[in-house]
């Protein structure tokens, strides 16, 4: 039996998670959703992991929901469908809130739930021939479960277009609307560009990166109130007094690498 998800960790602490259902373009089913949630939960809690790369085997990143899985879901009761949707939502939340820096390397078809996965990652590199689509309305559905993450990535204006038209768009358009950060001509070059990001990530302090990510969630779309200013002041005060904060300042003054720095 072929594993639907492959996970490895190299000597730098970089984990690679590969969707491995290439025969169905890495489409989601119950097993893959469960394995993704389990993998990102474990990797997020692993002190030896510094960053996570998410990619897909074969010609596609992820074509969204598996057709056989969707056929089965069509016969579910509303209660069963609710349970099923919450499982998918839980996996996306686990990825989105993962305390480790995450990089998606995207090639080929990236539709529906695949766009949701991309939206939950911190950095996204797409091969220039990648194709994206939020195709749910053509099936009489909506991108409900992935919507919080997709709207956060592309904004409401682009979402109003692509949620309704379900049209396909390319990597250049994905970058224009904020879904993608970098475009590479080939998959090999995409991995090379990921290496540059990883070099920068591995120079940062792990706990500071975790807290910096949480900081974004804490301040986004918030009115700047006394409460928010107090919270952000507390955060930096705690960082300055932390072991990492002291080590970072000492390393800077002594013109040396901090203890957490790893050569990429």
For residue 64, what pLDDT band results from cuts at 50, 70 and 90? confident
Catalytic site includes residue 136 = yes
Residue 162 vs residues 49, 92, 134, 158, 201: alpha-carbon distances, Å:
35, 20, 6, 6, 32
For residue 191, what pLDDT band results from cuts at 50, 70 and 90? very high
Report which of 174, 67, 66 is spatially closest to residue 125, judged by C-alpha positions.
174
Residue 59 pLDDT: 95
- Tens digit of each residue's pLDDT (9 = 90 or more) over 134-187: 999 998 999 999 999 999 999 999 999 999 999 999 999 999 999 999 999 999
Query: What angle is formed at CA 247 by the lines to CA 15 and CA 235, rounded to 5 degrees?
Result: 80
**Residue 107 to residue 131: CA distance in whole angstroms:** 8
- Tens digit of each residue's pLDDT (9 = 90 or more) over 10-52: 999 999 999 999 999 999 998 999 999 999 999 999 999 999 9
Indicate the CATH number for domain 5-201.
3.90.226.10
**Cα 74 → chain centroid:** 28
* pLDDT higher than 90, residue 85: no
Delimit the domains of the chain by residue range: 5-201, 206-253
Residue 79 pLDDT: 84
- Tens digit of each residue's pLDDT (9 = 90 or more) over 202-220: 999 999 999 999 999 999 9
**Residue 98 to residue 198: CA distance in whole angstroms:** 16
* pLDDT higher than 80, residue 73: no
For residue 1, what pLDDT band results from cuts at 50, 70 and 90? low
Task: Spell out the residues 6+ positions from residue 162 whose beta carbon is closer than 8 angstroms to its own.
Answer: 133, 134, 154, 169
- Tens digit of each residue's pLDDT (9 = 90 or more) over 107-134: 999 999 999 999 999 999 999 999 999 9
Residue 56 pLDDT: 97
- pTM of the shown model: 0.94
Residue 171 pLDDT: 98
Q: Which of 69-73, 81-85, 95-99 has the highest mean pLDDT?
A: 95-99
Catalytic residue selected from 136, 182, 211, 244: 136
For residue 4, what pLDDT band results from cuts at 50, 70 and 90? very high
Residue 264 pLDDT: 67
Residue 262 pLDDT: 87
């Amino acid at each position: 039996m072929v594993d639907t998800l492959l996970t490895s960790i190299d000597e730098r602490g970089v984990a690679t998670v590969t969707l491995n259902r290439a025969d169905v373009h890495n489409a989601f089913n119950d097993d893959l959703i469960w394995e993704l949630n389990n993998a990102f939960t474990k990797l997020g809690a692993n002190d030896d992991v510094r960053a996570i790369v998410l990619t897909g085997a074969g010609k596609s990143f992820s074509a969204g929901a598996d057709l056989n899985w969707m056929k089965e879901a069509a016969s579910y009761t509303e209660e069963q469908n609710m349970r099923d949707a919450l499982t998918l939502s839980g996996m996306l939340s686990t990825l989105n809130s993962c305390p480790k820096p995450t990089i998606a390397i995207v090639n080929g078809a990236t539709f529906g739930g695949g766009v949701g996965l991309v939206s939950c990652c911190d950095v996204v590199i797409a091969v220039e021939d990648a194709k994206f689509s939020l195709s749910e309305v053509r099936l009489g559905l909506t991108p409900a479960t992935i919507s919080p993450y997709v709207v956060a990535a592309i904004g409401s204006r682009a979402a109003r277009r692509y949620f309704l038209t379900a049209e396909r768009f390319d990597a250049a358009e994905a970058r224009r609307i904020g879904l993608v950060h970098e475009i590479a001509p080939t998959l090999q070059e995409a991995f090379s560009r990921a290496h540059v990001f990883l070099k920068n990530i591995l120079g940062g302090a792990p706990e500071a990166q975790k807290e910096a990510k949480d900081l974004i969630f804490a301040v986004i779309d918030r009115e700047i109130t006394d409460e928010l200013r107090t919270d952000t002041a507390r955060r930096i005060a705690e960082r300055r007094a932390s072991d990492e904060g002291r080590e970072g300042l000492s390393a800077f003054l002594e013109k040396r690498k901090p203890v957490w720095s790893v050569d990429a």
